Amino acid sequence: MISRRHLLAALPAISAGTVRAFAAPGNLLRVGFQKGEPILLVTKRNRSLEALLNPLGIEVQWTEFQFGPPMLEAMRVNAVDLGAVGDTPPVFAQAAHGDLLYVAVQRSGGQAILLPPESTLRTLHDLKGKKVAFGRGSAAHNLTIAALEKAGLTYADIQPIYLGPADAGAAFERGAIDAWTIWDSYYALFETRPGVRVLAKWTEITEQNGFFMASRAYVEANAPVTAKIVGEFTRVAAWARAHRSEVAAMVTKETGMSLEVVQRAVDRAPFQVLPMDDAIARSQQIIANRFRSLGLIPADINVSNQVWRTST
C-alpha cells in the first residue's frame, strides 16, 4: 500500500520528467481503492473490469489506500490513474495543482460524528472547545465544518485533530479525543460499542457525494475506455442496490469485519453512480469555497474546469 507519508516525502525529488515516466502505458489501468468501499470492492472481486478491458489488451492493476487523500496524492504524481473518493479529497488535490478530473459522481451516505463512552456532549454546539478528530482533506473534514456551521460555530471554535481512520479509532478508544467524524464501515463498526453515541448523522448536517476521479492525462489519452469504465461502475452500482446481502458478504470477506457491522453500512449506502453535471459541480464548488474561505487550501479553484463530460 502506498502511504501518504512516503508519497509526500518523495514529492520534492520528483521532476516533471520523472512524473512522465510514472505515467501508465495505454495497455495498463492503475486503480486505487479503499478496502471498505463497496462499488470498487465488488468490481475487484468479480474481476468485471478485467473482463471488460483485458479483451482490449488492457491490464488492470489495483493499489489499496486507507482513505482518499493519499490516493489522490498518488494520482497527482501519476502513480494511479483512477479511483473513488469522498467529496473533499478532490478539492485539496486540485488546490495542490493536481490535474485530475471528476469522471462520475457516486451518491454517498454513512457518515457520523461519534462520541466516546461517558461523553456529556448533547448537541453540535457542545463541540465548542473540544478535540474533534477526522482525516485532513477527507469527506469527514467537510462534514465536521458543515456541522459547525449548522451549530453557529466556527472552525476556530474546536481543536481539530488530524488523524487517519486507524489512528483516530485508537485515539477514540483510549478517550484521547472528544468526538470523531468518520464514515462507513468504521462508523458501523463503532456505533454499537458500549457507551458510544452518535452526536449527528450526515442526514442531519448536509448532503454528501463521492466521486470517481481520474488523471486528466489518462482520460484524454483513453476517453472511450474511460466511458466504458464509468459505464461498468454504473452497472455494478445498480447490481449492488439489488443484492445488498451479497455485497455485505463480499465486504466482510475482504475486510474481516463482522457481517452484522458490514450489513449496517451496506444497507444505508445509496449505490448510485451518475454522470457529472452542472448542479453537482456547483455543489462541489461550495465545498471548495468553504475550505478556501477558512484558509485551509492555498488557492481559489474552479471545479467546473475539472469536470469530464462524455459529450465533450
Tell me: pLDDT of 21 over 50: no
The whole-model pTM stands at 0.85
What is the arithmetic mean of pLDDT over 235-245?
97
Name the nearest CA neighbour of 192 among 134, 249, 261, 132: 261
Q: Which pLDDT belongs to residue 36?
A: 78
Tell me: pLDDT of 4 over 80: no
Residue-wise pLDDT tens digits, 82-116: 999 999 999 999 999 989 999 999 988 899 999 99
Residue type, 193: R
The domain limits of the chain are 4-108+208-306, 111-204
Determine how β-strand 131-134 pairs with β-strand 179-183.
Answer: parallel
Fold for the domain defined by 111-204: D-Maltodextrin-Binding Protein; domain 2 (3.40.190)
Tell me: pLDDT of 11 over 90: no
Cα atoms found within 13 Å of the Cα of residue 5, Cβ hemisphere only: 3
Beta strands in the chain (DSSP E): 28-34, 59-65, 82-85, 100-107, 111-115, 131-134, 159-162, 179-183, 197-201, 209-215, 273-274
Residue-wise pLDDT tens digits, 195-238: 999 999 999 999 889 999 999 999 999 999 999 999 999 999 99
Residue-wise pLDDT tens digits, 105-156: 998 889 999 999 999 999 999 999 999 999 999 999 999 999 999 999 999 9
Between 296 and 19, the more confident residue is: 296
Fold for the domain defined by 4-108+208-306: D-Maltodextrin-Binding Protein; domain 2 (3.40.190)
Determine how β-strand 179-183 pairs with β-strand 111-115.
Answer: antiparallel
